[in-house]
């Protein structure tokens, strides 16, 4: 049993040293090269006296960035990934929070790094990866390692606008990778197509199983996710057979008629998450890949990654939603009602997680940690933390867990409690709607629905009147050319609220 994530690398490098581990299609690193470079970086950090500390990795998405992550772990430290697509102000908040002494950059990010107020040492990856490995020092670091040592901090958005750094440890990541790999049936022939930025925990689904099995991960260029035909051609060119993508990336392909031109020939596993997959879009994928395995994944960063899964093995009607199913082995989902008791059949409750996959909490933020990592209210006998996700769910008549909405998407409107997610599901059912996002204007007490598609506002409003009670009908519908998305592919509801403010300003003129 592993107690260190790099046990995966140490094992696989004896089996497949020259196999490609990580590649962007043009540049690649073998498992032997990943190990060699990570040990060089680990030695460099040791020589600088950096141990059990955060190390910022500010590099372009590249196989070398992944080797840098593993190098930080090899040195007994934990990596903090940042990216040039982040606003400089957000990066500065992260740097202020972690107070790292070392920032690793590459030739492309070095100039940008000079804009930061950073008192530590900025080093080039291509320089430090040539450091001669100090085998004795690295062996001593490994001997002292325990499975609750942190290995990374990834930052999520905070409700106050200040990002929160989620710290995960060896134990939670290993538990997650073992359970995820078994459910999705990864093996040495798996060829991953990575979609998510490397500064999100979502990339764990490819990074560590690649080490575990000796698989290969392709880091798909970002620009291809705006070019659906070329994206599918890329999948085919490289024989990619496994993708774990956000829903918006999948619907971008299906909604624009891509399958009429080209289809993904090698895909055998399609895992998806982050948003509810509109059933009509999902049906297009399933029709094109009838033999593939489709799995809906759900989980928060604070639970290391995904905590629930649902293998789609039955048909769904246009009015249905795909369940998030049930928890991974060694994880329990507690669905708690407002009285902190288990929610009954059909009753909506907050999704709470208990188990090894819980992360350590928020770095340098005990106040926020204690708000959501709390004592299990069902256990009054001994200390036991659970994580309150802020997501609402309920069990359907089959005993499958259904995602309902975020707690903060639940509003009180005209005296009624409304789930904004339910309005989105109804809108997404309409033939001419590709994607929708619903927000609430607290000041004016108005429900606003934004959508991308071919149907006009009047037709969509008529369709919603047939599906929803009067009090849930949006007060305004706005068709957009493109839905604003966050960097990890979720609907950017903050941007939608800003858009609403712009419309109000125009109306007032």
Residue 434 has pLDDT above 80, yes or no: yes
Q: Are 165 and 97 in contact (CB under 8 A)?
A: yes
Distance CA 252, CA 277 (A): 12
Question: What mean pLDDT is predicted for residues 241-248?
Answer: 93
- Opening angle at CA 87, ends 44 and 82, nearest 5: 25
- Apex CA 53: angle with CA 195 and CA 359, to 5°? 55
Highest mean predicted confidence (pLDDT) among 28-32, 112-116, 281-285:
28-32
CA dihedral 221, 222, 226, 228 (to 10 degrees): 40
Residue 503: pLDDT band (50, 70, 90) is low
Q: Read off the pLDDT band of 125 (50, 70, 90).
A: very high
Contact 216/21 with Cβ under 8 angstroms? Answer: yes
Rounded to the nearest integer, the mean pLDDT of the chain is: 91
Q: How far apart are CA 188 and CA 177, in angstroms?
A: 15
| Helix, strand, coil percentages, rounded to 5, for the chain | 35, 25, 35
- Decide if pLDDT at 460 tops 60: yes
Question: What is the per-residue pLDDT for 224?
Answer: 94
pLDDT band at 255 (very low <50, low <70, confident <90, very high): confident
Across residues 17-40, what is the average pLDDT? 97
Question: At residue 479, does pLDDT exceed 70?
Answer: yes
Task: Place 21 in a pLDDT band, splitting at 50, 70 and 90.
Answer: very high
What is the total residue count of the chain? 509
- pLDDT tens for residues 408-432? 777 777 666 677 877 888 888 888 8
Taking only the tens place, the pLDDT of each residue in 327-370 is 999 999 999 999 999 998 889 999 999 999 999 999 999 999 99
* The pLDDT of residue 388 is above 50: yes
Q: What is the pLDDT of residue 157?
A: 67
Q: What is the pLDDT of residues 162-189, one digit of tens each?
A: 789 999 999 999 999 999 999 999 999 9
pLDDT digits (tens, 9 = 90+) for 68-85: 999 999 999 999 999 988
446 burial (CB, 10 Å; 0-12 / 13-18 / 19+) is middle
Owner of token pair 């060089």: 40
Task: Label residue 248 by pLDDT band (50, 70, 90).
Answer: confident
Q: How far is CA 232 from CA 186, 243, 355, in A?
A: 21, 12, 38
DSSP state string for 25-65: SSSEEEHHHHHHHHHHHHHHHHHTT--SSEEEEE--SSHHH
How far is residue 284's CA from residue 256's CA, in Å, rounded to a whole number?
Answer: 11
What local confidence, expressed as pLDDT, does residue 505 receive? 45
| Distance (Å, whole) CA 45 – CA 209 | 26
Q: Please tell me what DSSP assigns to residue 201.
A: G
pLDDT value, residue 431: 83
Q: How confident is the model at residue 88 (pLDDT cuts 50, 70, 90)?
A: confident
The Cα–Cα gap between 477 and 426 comes to 13
Return the number of other C-beta atoms located less than 10 Å from residue 398's C-beta: 9
Find the mean pLDDT for residues 391-398.
92
Instruction: With cut-offs at 50, 70 and 90, classify the pLDDT of residue 469.
Output: confident
d(CA 421, CA 393): 11
Cβ neighbors of 228 (< 8 A, separation 6 or more) are 252, 253, 256, 258
Which pLDDT value is given to residue 470? 81
pTM (two decimals): 0.85
| SS3 at position 387 | strand
pLDDT band at 488 (very low <50, low <70, confident <90, very high): low
Say if residues 302 and 389 touch (Cβ distance below 8 Å).
Answer: yes
Q: How confident is the model at residue 509 (pLDDT cuts 50, 70, 90)?
A: very low
**Mean pLDDT across 391-403:** 92
Contact 473/464 with Cβ under 8 angstroms? yes
Contact yes or no for 50/26 (Cβ under 8 A): no
């Amino acid at each position: 049993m592993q107690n260190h994530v790099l046990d995966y690398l140490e094992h696989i490098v004896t089996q497949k040293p020259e196999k490609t581990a990580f590649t962007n299609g043009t540049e690649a690193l073998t498992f032997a090269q990943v190990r060699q470079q990570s040990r060089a970086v680990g030695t460099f950090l040791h020589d600088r006296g950096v141990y059990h500390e955060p190390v910022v990795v500010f590099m372009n998405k590249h196989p070398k960035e992944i080797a840098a992550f593993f190098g930080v772990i090899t040195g007994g430290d934990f990596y903090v990934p940042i990216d040039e697509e982040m606003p400089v102000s957000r990066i500065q908040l992260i740097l202020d929070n972690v107070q790292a002494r070392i920032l690793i950059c590459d030739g492309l990010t070095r100039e940008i790094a000079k804009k930061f107020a950073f008192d530590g040492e900025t080093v080039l990856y291509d320089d430090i990866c040539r450091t001669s490995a100090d085998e004795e020092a690295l062996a001593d670091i490994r001997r002292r390692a325990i499975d609750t040592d942190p290995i990374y901090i990834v930052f999520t958005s905070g409700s106050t606008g200040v990002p929160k750094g989620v710290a995960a440890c060896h134990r939670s990541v290993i538990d997650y990778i073992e359970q995820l790999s078994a459910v999705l049936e990864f093996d040495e022939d798996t060829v991953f197509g990575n979609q998510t930025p490397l500064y999100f925990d979502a990339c764990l689904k490819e990074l560590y199983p690649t080490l575990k099995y000796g698989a290969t991960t392709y880091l798909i260029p970002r620009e291809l996710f705006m070019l659906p035909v070329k994206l599918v051609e890329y999948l085919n060119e490289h024989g990619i057979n496994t993708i774990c993508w956000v829903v918006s990336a999948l619907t971008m392909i299906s909604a624009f008629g891509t399958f009429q031109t080209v289809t993904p020939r090698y895909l055998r596993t399609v895992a998806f998450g982050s948003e509810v997959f509109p059933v009509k879009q999902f049906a297009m994928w399933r029709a094109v890949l009838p033999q593939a395995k489709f799995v809906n994944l759900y989980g928060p960063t604070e639970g290391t990654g995904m905590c629930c899964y649902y293998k789609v093995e039955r048909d769904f009607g246009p009015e249905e939603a795909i369940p998030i199913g049930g928890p991974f082995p060694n994880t329990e989902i507690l669905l708690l009602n407002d009285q902190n008791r288990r929610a009954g059949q059909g009753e909506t409750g907050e999704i709470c997680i208990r188990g090894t996959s819980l992360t350590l909490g928020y770095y340098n933020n005990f106040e926020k940690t204690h708000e959501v990592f709390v004592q299990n209210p069902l256990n009054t006998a001994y200390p036991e933390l659970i994580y309150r996700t802020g997501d609402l769910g309920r069990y359907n008549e089959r005993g499958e867990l259904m995602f309902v909405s975020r707690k903060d998407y639940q509003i009180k409107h005209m005296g009624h409690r409304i789930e904004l997610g339910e309005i989105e599901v109804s809108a997404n059912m309409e033939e001419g709607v590709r994607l929708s996002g619903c927000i609430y204007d607290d000041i004016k007490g108005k429900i606003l629905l934004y959508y991308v598609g071919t149907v006009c506002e009047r037709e969509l409003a008529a369709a919603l009147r047939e599906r929803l009670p009067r009090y849930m009908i949006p007060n305004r519908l706005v068709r957009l050319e493109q839905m604003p998305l966050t960097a990890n592919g979720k609907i950017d509801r903050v941007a939608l609220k800003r858009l609403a403010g712009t419309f109000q300003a125009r109306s007032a003129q």
